[in-house]
Amino acid sequence: MLGTDAGHPHHWKKKMARRRQIYEGKAKILYEGPEPGTLVQYFKDDATAFNNKKKGVIAGKGVINNRISEYLMTRLSEIGVPTHFVRRLNMREQLVREVEIIPVEVVVRNIVAGSLAVRLGMNEGTPLPRSIVEYYYKSDALNDPMITEEHITAFGWATPQELDDIMSMALRVNDFLSGLFLGVGIRLVDFKLEFGRLWEDDQMRIVLADEISPDSCRLWDMKTNEKMDKDRFRRDLGNVEEAYQEVARRLGILPESGPRDIKGPAVMQ
Ligand code: UDP
């Protein structure tokens, strides 16, 4: 993203030059990894909303999202959800398996919020009678239109078998993460997942990819209903970085006094 150096400190630039950039997204950059079949996922401080119409920088977001996503992906793999995550490399980077991204955003909802509230004229905060899974076609040009299983299989974006796997994994992730966040006083309102295809000894399987962070989840404090996610940026609520930090702190992945205490991986793990 031009026009901002946030998340690209000087020492970083030399390092970056050594690796081939594969892709640059709104909040992350993918570089060629150290071994074939791997990529390095770099987390930027850049934030966008409303399909790129609102742009900004959330200081330190990349560092926190790298940690939060590492933590959640690791916990998920421990219960048997396959993910692309391999290991965190440093403050802003993680090593991931290279996958073929399925061009569908999978949204799981537990409570009415965001586009669902707008589209169906419902009040934000209304609990849903059961979790709802929605699909959106990944296309900035088309503004990520909502689609159904029919579109996904008819256009070959995923096979019916793959879609089955995706749906059951998404619901498993939802149950697990809902409980995990509940344990630290946070309600998991909704979130977005992305999946990819991974070839492993002649076998193809679906794994969880991208990231799971306050950029891709709605997280509300259980007691106060305060928003602890990207809606603070989208809706100019202020204290965005503090909210992200508080999520990390509650998950136990930041020291009590905040990110300034981070001296390196050794003190954190
Ligand atoms: N979401 C996302 N990326 C997107 C669209 C949505 O990470 O491109 C997340 C969003 O943060 C929220 C959930 O998916 O946790 C549902 O978003 P919604 O459909 O309500 O859209 P929004 O109101 O964010 O435009």
Residue-wise pLDDT tens digits, 47-106 = 999 999 999 999 999 999 999 999 999 999 999 999 999 999 999 999 999 999 999 999
Could you tell me the CATH number of the domain that includes residue 83? 3.30.200.20
Query: Which residue owns the Cα nearest ligand 1 atom 11?
Result: 216
For residue 249, being part of any structural domain is answered with no
pLDDT value of residue 254: 81
Lowest mean pLDDT among 5-14, 135-144, 198-207: 5-14
* pLDDT over 90 at 269, yes or no: no
Question: Does 108 lie in the same domain as 57?
Answer: no
For residue 243, being part of any structural domain is answered with no
Residue 121 C-alpha to ligand 1 middle, in angstroms? Answer: 17
* pLDDT over 70 at 150, yes or no: yes
pLDDT value of residue 114: 98
* pLDDT over 80 at 266, yes or no: no
> What is the average pLDDT across 29-57?
97
Rounded Cα distance, 124 and 184, in Å: 22
Question: Does 211 lie in the same domain as 121?
Answer: yes
Question: Does 106 lie in the same domain as 217?
Answer: yes
Please provide the average confidence, as pLDDT, over all residues in the chain.
Answer: 92
Rounded Cα distance, 190 and 219, in Å: 8
- Which ligand 1 atom sits nearest the alpha carbon of residue 50? 25
Token pair belonging to 203:
């076998």
Question: Does 108 lie in the same domain as 193?
Answer: yes
Pocket test for ligand 1, best of 128, 147, 190, 228 (most atoms within 8 A of CB): 190
Question: Does 212 lie in the same domain as 112?
Answer: yes
Could you tell me the CATH number of the domain that includes residue 207? 3.30.470.20
The residue segments making up the domain with residue 200 are 101-221
Residue 143 C-alpha to ligand 1 middle, in angstroms? Answer: 12
Question: Does 212 lie in the same domain as 113?
Answer: yes
> What is the average pLDDT across 176-185?
98
For residue 122, being part of any structural domain is answered with yes
> What is the average pLDDT across 208-229?
98
Is the distance from the beta carbon of residue 232 to the nearest atom of ligand 1 less than 6 Å?
Answer: no
Question: Does 216 lie in the same domain as 106?
Answer: yes
Question: Does 54 lie in the same domain as 27?
Answer: yes
For residue 261, being part of any structural domain is answered with no
For residue 131, being part of any structural domain is answered with yes
Question: Does 209 lie in the same domain as 136?
Answer: yes
> What is the average pLDDT across 190-209?
96
pLDDT value of residue 12: 53
Is the distance from the beta carbon of residue 216 to the nearest atom of ligand 1 less than 6 Å?
Answer: yes
Question: Does 150 lie in the same domain as 70?
Answer: no
Residue 215 C-alpha to ligand 1 middle, in angstroms? Answer: 9
Residue 192 C-alpha to ligand 1 middle, in angstroms? Answer: 6
Is the distance from the beta carbon of residue 108 to the nearest atom of ligand 1 less than 6 Å?
Answer: no
Query: Per the structure, how many domains does the chain have?
Result: 2
Pocket test for ligand 1, best of 115, 133, 247 (most atoms within 8 A of CB): 115
Identify the band that residue 43 occupies on the pLDDT scale cut at 50, 70 and 90. Answer: very high
Residue 77's φ and ψ, nearest 5 degrees, are -65, -30
Contact 248, 241 (CB under 8 A): no
Residue 256's φ and ψ, nearest 5 degrees, are -50, -40
* pLDDT over 90 at 45, yes or no: yes
* pLDDT over 80 at 255, yes or no: no
> What is the average pLDDT across 236-249?
98
Question: Does 144 lie in the same domain as 105?
Answer: yes
Model pLDDT for residues 10-21, shown as the tens digit of each residue: 555 555 557 999
Contact 89, 35 (CB under 8 A): no
Residue 264 C-alpha to ligand 1 middle, in angstroms? Answer: 32
Is the distance from the beta carbon of residue 191 to the nearest atom of ligand 1 less than 6 Å?
Answer: yes
* pLDDT over 60 at 3, yes or no: no
pLDDT value of residue 14: 52
Is the distance from the beta carbon of residue 134 to the nearest atom of ligand 1 less than 6 Å?
Answer: no
